Structure 1
């Protein structure tokens, strides 16, 4: 039988999906998709007779029962996730359960919101002498995090910090970050990046909570806190004429 394909839809724009993702959608008999997080335009890639099942009101257990049932019927199934399914996609428990049923699973990666946001703004998140590190994380929230990954520890590095699933906790997040980053550190707030109603703004760290609340942002929001969003003359050594390497002598 065909494996179940867990496919990353990317941030929202149809042309930011991978070719493989589009191929899987076009050949699917059943589409099981997170309708609350993915634009409906993407689902139009499937065949006219493809069965579409929305999951916004379903539990993980209910979704798994559907996947197992449809697979036993010999259907070619796409489980469509927003962004990249390997980031906050809850795919581990899906894969384990499906593997227990003897069902093979493939994962098709997608462009993540942090990549789309940086590209939309035209900024690099790893700039020489500012930071060479990107951290992808989230506020502690109700689900919590390992203590070794507390926001305080992550912020103390002062790298490019990308926070998912944190809009509901923005006041607490700002109060922690401002203890470690300079108050004027740029913060990119990205709501539904690459969607038709995309909203992105770069503001100082001190305005992070206020701006979020003014825009009533509680979900589908990413924060990028990074000194690279306000760059000066920070040139990479790789392309500097004074720098030699394997393929070029100085």
Structure 2
């Protein structure tokens, strides 16, 4: 196992047991069986490690949500959206628990800003889903619906993040899809307006083509899987000098999408207009 990944996995165990603040670098190195020097070769500080863990978790979540919203048929979209959300919470319940707890209490500006950034990306996907499903019929209530859906996501996640009760994910997804449809079709009194959204949302930092090319280059050096590596090479070439058909580009994106190390790049590339 790569040392950086070992540190992330073992520190995650400790953070889930004790929280961010109560866990020291010394405890992390002891759990990993490495020296402090080896730790600082991978991460400059514990805060940098925490941000890396948040990036790993949220990048995969945002990438999965984006793919579902853009590729699922309308009649299954809400169900697949909710199912994917709660399946991710369930799979990573230890980290989700500590993240939700720490974020509600944090005074760390970098952590807060990071979570705001990912929250904004999720909101954009939810808005895209709402506009696809309901069109002009929710013109005045669509921003309220965003916060309704986010409320469902957060509230029901507590069932298995904090209470550790068995949850039927299929039934939960079906139930929330039904509730969302009812609200979308019958709610008439909006509270959250487009103007309010603009006031509370931070500025979206788009990744430039040059940054994306550099990011792909870094990832090409890190991964060893031949299919994903070759796909990244071709996608990088496509950014520099477009020559491939949309069908081939989509196939290359599929090649990298399910690799956890490439999910974020596949997400950024889907957002980028070739």
Report the TM-score, using the length of structure 1 for normalisation: 0.26
Q: Which has the higher helix share?
A: 2
Q: Which has the higher strand share?
A: 1
Report the TM-score, using the length of structure 2 for normalisation: 0.25
